[in-house]
Structure 1
């Protein structure tokens, strides 16, 4: 497999079809989650927040609207171009690979939201990313990682689905190869056809705990949904880790 295929996210996240397919993501749910985190973590207005793999910046923009200083990083040029339309003196966006350190020991909080992790082909890249994020935090800084619950996703996999959005036809096939949850996306737009795919490593809780430990991060809590209820492996929708830099 060549590098271009390994790094599928470079191609898919810069595609206009990615933004069409996911245009209906629940903004109210995202804002509710942020509000719960702010309250639970007691984030202060003077705290600096890093949004890792920020996409088009929906979390960053909302945090900034509440008065926080936020910087968002993402590998997608298109995402950052869109996000930068909302930039201001306390809200900045940069094209950046999460596997590389961004502003060492600078942030009080780092967020990685909505399963914006597990995209790499190599296990060692997962560790590189966690370690780089840890290095961006001040001592006792907090990292929040919001990931899918692989146990529930694999057990409830919808193998085939079709959608039509803005006149574009999407045929989606999902599978699990023993390591990755794979989504193959065939697109028909007028007389043109395209194929993309998403490939997310089904990272278990124990592996995340190893990544955190290796990055000098202490596990504080794991929640199972955006209401911050207790995580239950068989039933929870999410794995939301709260960890602290030692």
Structure 2
């Protein structure tokens, strides 16, 4: 019997994922990346890993700024697309972040825009952080940009409809009993009914700090938004962790 894909393996490889999220604010993302580059003092001499890079948009942007970047993602379709932009200082690979990619090779690892919290167990989360730590050079830094669970859960919109490219996406959200922010996405296209689900664990700050401690990483800073303002538990949009090996 064919093994069932984990939800992120199935949904992120679907063309509908990219249709639904086509209007994401990439200008804001570029501004965030510019702010990080300045804060971290990334130079052309450094090697950067974009962990869970999607279609590689942010890796490509960083490379165009002159940086040596590797992007990895679990989705074969994402990497096929990203690979068309490769050059001598930009490479893409299919990779599961729960496994070590390249031991001790990177000055900076960026895990952007809530590309974490997808797994079913704490052990897998810890394994992913430990794998990232293993890929860092001594003194290297890991950036994890995650949603602020306190604000997201408090402001959860139970349901909405989104019309994109003639498709009506019906989206229902809830906090599950086991602590996941669950988004059910249903729609019809070409006479077929589709149902996908996103599940992101509402990981608290204290839990991340425990992951970092177990991986031998030291907390440097927590920012609360893409302008790198200080994190405020009750009001910040994001939890952006800067940790060092």
* C-alpha separation in 2, matches of 1:93 and 1:25: 22
Who is 1:206 aligned against? 206
Alignment correspondent of 2:103: 104
Shift of 1:4: 2.6
User: What residue in structure 1 maps to residue 148 of structure 2?
Assistant: 149
Tell me if structure 2 keeps the 8 A contact 1:171–1:185: yes
- How far the C-alpha of 1:3 sits from its partner, in A, is 6.7
How many pairs were matched up?
Answer: 243
Partner of residue 87, structure 2: 88
Alignment of 1:128-147 (within 5 A): 128-147=127-146
Following superposition, which runs of at least 4 residues in structure 1 exceed 3 angstroms of deviation?
A: none
1:223-238 matches, cutoff 5 A: 223-238=223-238
Aligned partners of 1:233, 1:192: CA distance in 2, in Å?
Answer: 42
Q: Which residue of 2 aligns with 1:15?
A: 14
Is 1:73 aligned to 2:72, yes or no?
yes
Root mean square deviation of aligned Cα: 1.1
Which secondary structure does the structure 2 equivalent of 1:120 belong to? coil
Partner of 2:219: 219
Q: With structure 1 as the length reference, what TM-score do the two structures score? A: 0.97
User: Which structure 2 residues correspond to residues 109-124 of structure 1 after superposition, within 5 A?
Assistant: 109-124=108-123
Structure 1 gaps of 5+ residues are: none
Q: Encode CA deviations 1:217-242: one digit per residue, 9 max, x unaligned.
A: 00000000000001011100000000
Report the alpha carbon displacement of residue 78 of structure 1 after superposing the two structures with TM. Answer: 0.9
TM-score of the aligned structures, taking structure 2 as reference length: 0.97
